[in-house]
Structure 1
């Protein structure tokens, strides 16, 4: 068996189902969007009531927690083989 022929080839059956890079990209994109939302909130900072700062901090905290949860889910690659397990036989037309 020639070792060089199989060195660079990937086995399609053994693909990685966990990708940290995909999760980090999602995390960065979501945090950029969150910063844009916070900047939009800060435009009208002078018109806030006395407790407006607490509302923005609460929004940011819950949004960041949700982003972290979604980041963990984004690291997992979906299994594409489950879609093909449906009904494959066609019903005869009458």
Structure 2
């Protein structure tokens, strides 16, 4: 079993956290740890090479059902695709 690069994983997850706070931030102006509850799932999905559609579905669920922010009709898919592109630009998981 290969050894896990704990420091590399921490750095990568911090990049993802920064992107969620800067580019996603559906609530607006929250503390840095506001979206940490979503970070693990997003990181796992990226590790497993989830498709953009799978990630969009997760963010849609998070915003409309879990947070209760607007309806599915108000969900901005294009904005979320930009968030996903930023997340993917954080580099591959260690």
TM-score (norm 2): 0.37
Structure with higher Rg: it is 1
TM-score after normalising by structure 1: 0.37
- Answer 1 or 2: higher relative contact order, Cα 8 Å, separation at least 6: 1
